[in-house]
């Protein structure tokens, strides 16, 4: 039987650099997949439906909730976000390591349904740097940035629910740490014990 892939949940305050790290990581890891979420927020310039997100109307999103189509979903700064379930579970079964880049409420839902997932919290070097990155990205109005910063501070309270802290000082170093986390998790005893029993332990 093919070994299942890991489910890796990456959270952290908006602007910490989750998207940047995950995109960079994916360039050199064809054995991994980045889940494409659904959202009701409007596309940013350059974002493509089906690539960055599935951009849905409120009604379409609600319908998918009713059909039990999400692994998790949450409201973030007045918009819905959710992880399409079937595609993620199919990829894990096929042996791919799947990354979900999601906020904390969604991560908690994944934790309750899928405790074997790996939970990584990305933090910026400082709150000042976080604000600079959010403003520097230039994708949100001052009002939305203020909301996201407020939300960011609240999200730090959820850090104890995660297994790893990933400081995003430089993108290169952060990507290397993410690789190290995945490598270490693949070696965790309980993830390998079935194969040890099958191949090494005489009954």
- The option from ligand ADP, ligand 5GP, none interacting with 168 (CB < 5 to 8 A, set by class) reads ligand ADP
- The option from ligand ADP, ligand 5GP, none interacting with 34 (CB < 5 to 8 A, set by class) reads none
Nearer to ligand 5GP, 146 or 184 (CB): 146
5 binds ligand 5GP (CB under 6 A): no
- In three-state form (DSSP H/G/I as H, E/B as E, the rest C), the secondary structure along the chain is CCCCCCEEEEECCCCCCHHHHHHHHHHCCCCEEECCEEECCCCCCCCCECCCEEECCHHHHHHHHHCCCEEEEEEECCEEEEEEHHHHHHHHHCCCEEEEECCHHHHHHHHHHCCCCEEEEEECCCHHHHHHHHHHHCCCCHHHHHHHHHHHHHHHHHHHHCCEEEECCCHHHHHHHHHHHHHHHHCCHHHHHHHHHHHHCCC
Q: Select the residue whose beta carbon is closest to ligand 5GP and give its number.
A: 106
Find the binder of ligand 5GP among 9, 61, 64, 72 (CB under 6 A): 72
16 binds ligand ADP (CB under 6 A): yes
81 binds ligand 5GP (CB under 6 A): yes
Nearer to ligand 5GP, 20 or 186 (CB): 20
Contact residues: ligand ADP, CB under 6 A: 12, 14-20, 133, 136-137, 168, 170-171
Contact residues: ligand 5GP, CB under 6 A: 14, 18, 37, 41, 72, 74, 76, 81-83, 101-103, 105-106
């Amino acid at each position: 039987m093919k070994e299942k892939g890991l489910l890796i949940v990456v959270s952290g305050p908006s602007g910490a650099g989750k998207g940047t790290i995950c995109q960079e990581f994916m360039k050199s890891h064809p054995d991994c997949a980045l889940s494409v979420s659904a959202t009701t927020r409007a596309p940013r310039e350059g974002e493509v439906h089906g690539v960055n997100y599935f951009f849905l109307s409120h009604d379409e999103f609600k319908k998918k909730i009713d059909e039990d189509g999400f692994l998790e979903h949450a409201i973030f700064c007045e918009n819905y976000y959710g992880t399409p379930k079937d595609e993620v579970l199919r990829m894990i079964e096929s042996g791919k390591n799947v990354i979900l880049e999601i906020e904390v409420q969604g991560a908690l839902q994944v934790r309750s349904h899928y405790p074997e997932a790996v939970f990584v919290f990305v933090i910026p070097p400082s709150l000042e740097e976080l604000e600079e990155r959010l403003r520097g990205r230039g994708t949100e109005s001052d009002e939305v940035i203020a909301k996201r910063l407020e939300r960011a501070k609240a999200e730090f309270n959820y850090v104890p629910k995660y297994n790893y802290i990933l400081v995003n000082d430089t993108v290169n170093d952060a990507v290397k740490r993410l690789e190290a986390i995945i490598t270490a998790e693949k070696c965790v005893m309980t993830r390998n014990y079935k194969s040890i029993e099958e191949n090494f332990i005489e009954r």
